[in-house]
Amino acid sequence: MDAPKELNDIVLPRMVVGPLTRAAIFLVVCIRQEGESRAALRSFCADLAGLVRAVEFRDVEAGLTCVIGFGADNWAALFGAPRPVELHPFREIRSGDRHAVSTPGDILFYIRAKRHDLCFELAAQIMDGIGDAVSVADEVHGFRYSDDRDVLGFVDGTENPRGDVAREAAIVGDEDPTFAGGSYVIVQKYLHDMKCWNALPVETQERIVGRKKLSDIELNDVEKPPCAHNALAVIEEDGKQLQILRDNMPFGRPSHGEFGRRRLRTDHRSGCVDRLSQPYGFGRTAVFAGDFCLPGFTSEAAVALSPAPMLLESGG
């Protein structure tokens, strides 16, 4: 079936390319195969925008949004053909004893706001509406850490694209006109060995990250090794740097020794996001970032962000 015209009319940049918030919930679910699960999900997602507005209205200045994305495995069952050109499950990466796995997930709900209680309320309402049709693969509650730093103590997201550059990077355009207005994302989970990390001298930490810890100033080319985190985060094509929108949220459970980041990367092509996923902790990062930044690493499947209510209402 043809994708509905509304896909090209819906305005997504406000949600995908919105400002970073103080709180977020990453909710990944798998569709149950029995019964009328898919029909129930299509019906629910058609009304999702209204549900978000109802919760958002309690504090409109809190900026509550919910981006919904769908994985490759159940795309055809939900929407039929065609499928977004570059939509595919996350491709596992192996290098030596390091393994970035592809974890299950059919639908991503990426909920964010300035207030965590609004994120929590919306997540609760979502699960109340679809709980019988899905099983939960993962749920992470993220927060902004001290001075917008990650759990490693460094400011995160300094070089994120902004404004028109961010919109151009994140939103699908003429390269896949049927799904113009959507975005590809990869959601990943990084777990850090904080005892190992905190035992390192600050100077060593700075060489791993590529920035000064206190001032957030980037190290010069003499000080910064080629395997520094911010050096590996640069991807070029035909001599031009490719921009990818990132949103990293710390999370953790200190009593369980769990300290990490939920990383969401957004782009108008999944190939760019794939290429960015490969360096961290693999191959050329073995000396620094692979040893200390990412001692544990799991990755979820790639999903295409799309205006789900319009898509499901018109094509379900």
Pairing of strands 93-95, 296-305: unpaired
The C-alpha angle with vertex 153 and arms to 149 and 157, in degrees rounded to 5, equals: 35
Q: Which DSSP string corresponds to 183-220?
A: EEEEEEEEE--HHHHHTS-HHHHHHHHTB-TTT-PBPP
Domain boundaries along the sequence of the chain: 6-315
Dist CA 285 CA 291 (whole Å): 8
**pTM for the full predicted model:** 0.83
CA distances for 241 relative to 217, 234, 237, 244, 297, angstroms: 20, 7, 6, 10, 26
Residue 103 neighbours by CB under 8 Å, 6+ apart: 28, 90, 137, 138, 298, 299, 300, 301
Mean pLDDT score across all residues of the chain: 77
Q: Is 156 a catalytic residue?
A: yes
- Where residue 197 falls (left for φ over 0; alpha for ψ -120 to 50; beta otherwise) is alpha
| CA 194 from centroid of its chain's CA atoms | 23
- Name residue 252's beta-bridge partners: 259
Question: What does the alpha-carbon distance between residue 49 and residue 65 come to, in Å, rounded to a whole number?
Answer: 9
pLDDT of 215-225, one tens digit each?
A: 999 999 889 98
Q: What confidence tier does 95 reach under pLDDT thresholds 50, 70, 90?
A: low
Residue 11's pLDDT band, with cuts at 50, 70 and 90, is very low
pLDDT digits 0-9 by tens, 164-200? 887 887 778 788 877 777 788 878 887 888 888 898 8
Cβ neighbours around 128 below 10 Å, total: 10
Q: Which of 116-130, 221-235, 302-316 has the highest mean pLDDT?
A: 116-130
Using a pLDDT cut of 90, give the percent of the chain over it: 27
Residue range 46-57: mean pLDDT, rounded:
91
Q: What is the DSSP string of 157-181?
A: -TT---HHHHHHHHS--TTSGGGTT
Report DSSP state, residue 142: E
Q: Is the pLDDT of residue 161 over 70?
A: yes
Residue 264's beta-bridge partner residues?
Answer: 187, 247
Characterize the bridge pairing of strands 98-103 and 296-305: parallel
pLDDT bin (cut points 50, 70, 90) of residue 284 is very low
Are the C-beta atoms of residues 261 and 155 closer than 8 Å to each other?
no
Q: Average the pLDDT over 136-157 and give the result.
A: 89
pLDDT at 301 over 50: no
% of the chain with per-residue pLDDT over 70 = 77
Catalytic residue among 106, 156, 176, 267: 156
Query: Using an 8 Å Cβ cutoff, are 243 and 165 in contact?
Result: yes
